[in-house]
């Protein structure tokens, strides 16, 4: 059997220091980053996504950043296809690919392959979306909680894409998506993945989130959101309903004040980080490290070992 290629991954919750760690490594090793961040793929969404700056991307090349518009669908399957092309390109030039990001689903799909699930059923998907319009997403969520409570517990209440997809699977096949995922977890990995997870102590992580929230508003988060709206991107888009943007949209519309907006952005980001930590700790084989400094040392050792190995 052919030996699996090594794939180095740096993951962790938002504000844990993944990007800074990758940039430091890129100053020493010929590294190119494949971003595994479900929001950094979108153009024009820079501040709320904590996207690496143009200067940082010139110093250390990043792939899968700014690849689609905010109204385009982007999912794990598309991520895997683009990431595999990027891996081939990076290695063909003698560089070291390194996957960096906090979207656990993307990392898992790349390392273990995509879940074998039925294809899209346009009539069923349309019917489910019509139900959502008439009766609300809460009705779909209640359906999923009855049919597959495990999957229902894993997703946000307003995540229409996953609600519809999971219901589509169970209604068209009679099998719970969580059962398919369980079978998928037992399949062999496509890569020899070395995964460094930055897992800061909770108080320090939450302090970092509070600080970043202030920086985002200081850097012009409100102006960025107004610009997206002026470009014609509808507030109901999934991308405009994520973390910071949805609350700033409410502020721009006059529904809430600026102080409440800041509070809600910070609160939701902390909740999101907590879910990310839960996901990370549930994955076997990850090397959990308390800060970016230790992640740097660990990954640097992995890279050095790979470069001197026969």
Count of alpha carbons within 13 angstroms of residue 113, beta-carbon side: 12
pLDDT in tens, 258-285: 999 999 999 999 999 998 998 888 888 8
pLDDT in tens, 47-85: 999 999 999 999 999 999 999 999 998 988 899 999 999
Question: Which residue blocks in the chain are alpha helix, DSSP H?
Answer: 18-26, 54-59, 76-92, 104-112, 122-135, 137-147, 149-152, 160-173, 177-185, 202-219, 221-230, 243-252, 258-282, 292-308
**SS3 category, 234:** coil
Q: Which residue from 94, 38, 49, 85 is spatially nearest to 265, judged by alpha carbons?
A: 49
**Interatomic CA distance for residues 109 and 102, integer angstroms:** 13
Q: What's the pLDDT score for residue 275?
A: 87
The architecture CATH gives domain 6-113+187-308: 3-Layer(aba) Sandwich (3.40)
Q: What's the pLDDT score for residue 1?
A: 43
End-to-end distance of the chain based on CA atoms, in angstroms? 18
Q: Which residue from 98, 97, 101 is spatially nearest to 16, judged by alpha carbons?
A: 101
pTM: 0.84
Domain ranges of the chain: 6-113+187-308, 122-184
pLDDT in tens, 115-158: 767 777 888 999 999 999 999 989 999 999 999 998 888 787 77
Which pair of structure tokens corresponds to residue 186? Answer: 């037992």
**Interatomic CA distance for residues 35 and 62, integer angstroms:** 7
pLDDT in tens, 248-265: 999 999 999 999 999 999
**Interatomic CA distance for residues 126 and 143, integer angstroms:** 16
114-118, 180-184, 234-238 — most confident range: 234-238
Interval 223-249 mean pLDDT: 95
Fold adopted by 122-184: Histone, subunit A (1.10.20)
pLDDT at 239 over 50: yes
Interval 232-239 mean pLDDT: 94
């Amino acid at each position: 059997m052919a030996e699996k290629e090594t794939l180095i991954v740096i993951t962790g919750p938002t504000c844990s220091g993944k990007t800074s760690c990758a940039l430091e490594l890129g100053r020493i090793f010929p590294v190119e980053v494949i971003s595994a961040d479900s929001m950094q793929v979108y153009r024009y969404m820079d501040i709320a996504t904590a996207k690496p700056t143009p200067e940082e991307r010139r110093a250390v090349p990043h792939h899968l950043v700014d690849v689609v518009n905010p109204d385009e669908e982007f999912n794990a399957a598309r991520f895997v296809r683009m990431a595999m092309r990027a891996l081939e390109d990076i290695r063909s030039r003698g560089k070291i690919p390194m996957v960096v990001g906090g979207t656990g689903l993307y990392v898992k799909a790349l390392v273990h392959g995509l879940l074998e699930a039925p294809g899209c059923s346009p009539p069923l998907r349309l019917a489910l979306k019509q139900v959502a319009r008439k009766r609300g997403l809460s009705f779909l969520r209640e359906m999923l909680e009855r049919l597959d409570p495990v999957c229902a517990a894993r997703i946000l209440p307003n995540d229409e894409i996953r609600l519809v997809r999971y219901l589509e699977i169970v209604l068209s096949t009679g099998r719970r998506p969580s059962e398919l995922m369980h079978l998928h977890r037992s399949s062999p990995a496509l890569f020899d993945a070395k995964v460094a997870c930055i897992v800061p102590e909770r108080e320090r992580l939450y302090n970092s989130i509070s600080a970043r929230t202030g920086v985002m508003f200081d850097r012009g988060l409100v102006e960025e959101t107004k610009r997206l709206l002026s470009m014609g991107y509808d507030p109901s888009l999934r991308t405009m309903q994520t973390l910071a943007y949805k609350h700033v949209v409410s502020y721009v519309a006059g529904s809430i004040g600026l102080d409440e907006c800041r509070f809600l952005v910070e609160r939701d980001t902390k909740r999101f980080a907590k879910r990310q930590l839960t996901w990370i700790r549930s994955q076997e084989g990850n090397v959990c490290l308390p800060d970016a400094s230790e992640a740097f040392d660990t990954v640097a050792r992995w890279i050095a070992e790979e470069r001197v190995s026969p």
